[in-house]
Amino acid sequence: MKHFFFFLSGTLMISCTSNSEKAELIVQNAVIWTANPEQPYAEALAVKAGKILAVGSNADIQKYAGSDTEITDVNSGFIVPGFIDSHVHFIAGGKNLSSVQLRDASTPEEFIHRIAEYARTLAPGEWITGGDWDHKLWGGELPRKEWIDSVTQENPVIINRLDGHMALVNSLTLNLEGITRDTKSVEGGEIIFNDKTGEPTGIFLDNAYYQMLGNAMPADSEEQQERYMKAAMQHVVSHGVTSVHDMDGFESLRVFERLRDKGEMMVRVYSCIPLSRWKLLQQKIIKEGTGDEWVKTGSLKGFVDGSLGSHTAAFFDPYSDAPEHKGFFVNSKEELYRWISDADSAGLQVVVHAIGDSANSTLLDIYEQVVDENGPRDRRFRIEHAQHIASKDFARFEALAVIASVQPYHAIDDGRWAEKVIGPDRIKTTYPFRSFLDAGVRIALGSDWFVAPPVPLTGIYAAVTRRTLDEQNPDGWVPEQKITVEEALRGYTIDAAYASFDEDIKGSLEPGKLADFVILDKNIFKIEPEAIRDVRVKMTFVGGRKVFSRSPR
C-alpha cells in the first residue's frame, strides 16, 4: 500500500508538471527569426501566460499542445520579435491622426486648401494643431500667417513643421497669445519677423515655439488624452510595433498609467521625462518604482539643439545655404552638464537630442566628464537622432558606450535636400548608420513619430537602401552608409530593448521572454531590399494576445 501511494503521488506530480507546461497558444509552420544568436531560426513557438514557453521545430513544439491549446498554422509566414520603436511622441502622434494632414502638401495652394477644408469641419473657437507640413516640397519658401488668415478667421492655428522644431500660427493665435512686433524671442528660439513691416510672420522656431505658444489653448481632457492614446496604439500595432520609447514626459506617463490600470494597454511603453525634472522622476521612482512590463520609466530626455530642416541644428561650420548661420543650442552647455550629472548621480538614464556635429560633440564632452566624475556603472547614455557626426567622434561614441538612437526614415526624407544645406563633405557622415556599426556603436532604431511614420518596415527599407523619397537616388543616398537587413532588424528588436534595459524580457523570441511577435507576409531576407517597403504585417501579438490581424485582400 505504501508503495502504491508513492507511485500514485509520483504519477500525479508528473501529470501536474505536464499540465503546467501545456501552451495556451502554438504558432507553427513558420519561418521564425528569433534575434537569438544561439538559435537564430525556428519553425514554431509556444506561449503560456503571456510569455514564450518554447521555440523550436514543429515536432519539438507539439509536446506543448494540450486539449485547450489554440493552434495557429501560418503556412510558412515570416515571424520576427515585436518591433520596438525607440523614439516616438506617442499621444501627439495619436492626436495628429485626426488633425489636418499636410505632410505631402506640395504647393502653397494645396497647403492652404487643406487647412481651409479642415477648418470647415470645426466649430468656431476650436484649435487647429498638428499638420506636419514640409516647406521643402514647394521649394523652401516658409509659409506666413497671411496664407491662412482668411480661411481660419474663427479658429486659432498652431501647426508644426514635420520635424517639430518650427510652427506656423495665424493672426488669431498671435492675438490670443499676446504676441506683437515688440515681443522678444526667448533664448534658444526665434520669432521670425517680416523684414519690411516688422510684424511677426507667424513662424516660430524651437524654444519660441515650445515656450511661447499654446498658453491660450485649453488643455486636453483626460478622456481626449486616452482617446489619442488608443488611436496611437491601434495605429502602430497595425505596423507591428509592440513597444515604444515615448519622449513626452509626465503628462503622457500619467495617461499610460491610467490605461494600464484599466487593463486597456496593448503596446508597452518606456516613458522619458524632461531632463530638467530629474529630481521629480527620482522621487516618483523612490515612491512607486520604475513600473512594470506595460509601463516603465527611468529615463530623462533633454535637448542640445534644433533640427536640420529648420536650420537650428548646431554645426561647427555655417550652413552651406545660409553662411550667416551655424544653428544654436536650445540649452546651454552649463545647464546640460548640471542636469546630466545630477540625473546620472541619481542612477537615471539620460537620453539627449543632438542633431548637428557641434551638438553631438559637445554632448559627448559632457558625457565623458560625467563618466569621469561619477565613475563606472551600466548607465547606457543615449544620443537621440545623432544625425551629423564629426569623424573624430565615432570612436568616442564607442569608448563611452553611448547608444545612437537613430531614425532611418529621416535619411531618405532629408536626403532629398540635405546636400544643399550642409554641402558634399558633411553628408558623408550624415545619418551614418554603417559608420556607427563599424565603430562598434550600438544603434537603436525608431521613427520619431509624429515627425515620421511609425512603420518599422519602412525604416528597415530606408536603412538598407537609403533611396530617397523623391526616387532620385536609386542606388542609395550616401550608399556607403547602408546597413544589412539583419542589422536593421536588430536595431528594431534586441538592440532597441537594450536601449531601455529590457533585453532580458523582450527583443528576441526566447523561452521566458514576453510573447511579443509579428507575422509578416514575406520573408524580408528573401526579397530584394527595394521590396521591403511593400511588405505587410499580417498579425501582431502582444503578450501572446492577437492585437491586430489584417483582413484578406
Which residue bears the cell 521572454? Answer: 513
pLDDT > 70: percent of the chain: 96
Beta bridge partners of 444: 405
With 0-12 / 13-18 / 19 or more C-beta atoms within 10 angstroms meaning exposed / middle / buried, residue 268 is: buried
Task: Specify the 3-state DSSP secondary structure of 120.
Answer: coil
Mean pLDDT along residues 141-146: 96
* Torsion (CA) 424, 428, 433, 438 in degrees, nearest 10: 180
CATH architecture of 1-81+507-553: Roll (2.30)
Residue 409 C-alpha cell reads as 526614415
Give pLDDT tens digits for 335-390: 999 999 999 999 999 999 999 999 999 999 999 999 999 999 999 999 999 999 99
What crossing angle do the helices spanning 357-374 and 333-345 adopt, rounded to 10°?
A: 40
Give pLDDT tens digits for 165-186: 899 999 999 999 999 999 999 9
Helix H or strand E encompassing 28: strand 25-33
Peptide bond into 501 cis (omega under 30): no
Which residue bears the cell 523619397? Answer: 469
Provide the whole-model pTM: 0.88
Residue 311 C-alpha cell reads as 536650420
CA distance 134 to 116: 17
Identical fold between 1-81+507-553 and 91-212 = no
Task: Specify the 3-state DSSP secondary structure of 59.
Answer: helix
Give pLDDT tens digits for 213-231: 989 989 899 999 999 999 9
Q: Which fold has domain 91-212?
A: Diaminopimelate Epimerase; Chain A, domain 1 (3.10.310)
Distance of CA 461 to the CA centre of its chain: 16
CA distance 82 to 496: 11
Residue 552 in contact with residue 58, Cβ under 8 Å? no
Contacts 24+ apart (CB under 8 A), 33-40: 33/78, 33/79, 33/80, 33/81, 33/489, 33/525, 34/81, 34/508, 34/509, 34/510, 35/80, 35/81, 35/489, 35/490, 35/493, 35/494, 35/507, 35/508, 35/509, 36/508, 36/509, 36/510, 39/510
**Domain coordinates of the chain in residue numbers?**
1-81+507-553, 91-212
Residue 326 in contact with residue 377, Cβ under 8 Å? no
Give pLDDT tens digits for 261-315: 999 999 999 999 999 999 999 999 999 999 999 999 999 999 999 999 999 999 9
Task: Specify the 3-state DSSP secondary structure of 148.
Answer: helix
Residue type, 25: L
